[in-house]
């Protein structure tokens, strides 16, 4: 039952993010996308601080390995650099299988 609630929350967050991004980009153009990504980065960093405060160091390490490429992608979009944005996507595709293997090995932590 807990996994179903978590899945529903993820689906809701994804749909909310898509709707927010579409609304902001239609209303403000490219600057709306930058503002939306800035808000998302702020929420992510505050979640990291909360997890660090709760002493969940392993969770922060795993999440940061997945979010770091998106921060690089965000910076690439912010400065309008396609190479940096592509580097963020490639880094995500490299780190995702590595992170999955690490999480499977250390599932009990």
DSSP string covering 25-69: HHHHTHHHHHHHHHHHHHHHHHHHHHHHHTT-HHHHHHHHHHHHH
pTM of the model: 0.62
The answer on pLDDT for 73 being more than 90 is no
Confidence class for position 81, pLDDT limits 50, 70, 90: confident
For residues 67-89, average pLDDT: 86
> Which phi-psi region, left, alpha or beta, contains residue 80 (left: φ > 0; alpha: ψ -120 to 50)?
left
**How many distinct structural domains can be found in the chain?**
1
What DSSP character marks residue 109?
-
Single out the residue of 31, 28, 98, 33 nearest to residue 68, CA to CA: 98
The answer on pLDDT for 109 being more than 60 is no
For residues 46-75, average pLDDT: 83
Measured at the CA of 17, the angle between CA 15 and CA 1, to 5 degrees, comes to: 50
Q: What's the whole-number average pLDDT of the chain?
A: 80
Confidence class for position 100, pLDDT limits 50, 70, 90: confident
What token pair was written down for 40?
A: 């998302």
Determine the structural domain holding residue 41 and report its residue range.
2-105
For residues 28-53, average pLDDT: 81
Kindly report, residue by residue over 5-19, the tens digit of the pLDDT.
Answer: 656 776 777 788 778
pLDDT at 3: 58
């Amino acid at each position: 039952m807990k996994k179903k609630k978590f899945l529903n929350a993820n689906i809701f967050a994804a749909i909310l993010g898509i709707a927010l991004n579409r609304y902001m980009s239609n209303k403000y153009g490219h600057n709306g996308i930058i503002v939306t990504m800035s808000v998302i980065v702020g929420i992510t960093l505050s979640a990291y601080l909360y997890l660090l405060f709760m002493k969940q160091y392993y969770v922060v390490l795993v999440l940061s390995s997945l979010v770091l490429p998106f921060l690089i992608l965000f910076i690439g979009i912010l400065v309008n650099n396609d190479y940096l944005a592509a580097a963020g996507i490639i880094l995500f595709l490299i780190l995702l299988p590595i992170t999955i293997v690490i999480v499977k090995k250390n599932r009990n932590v």
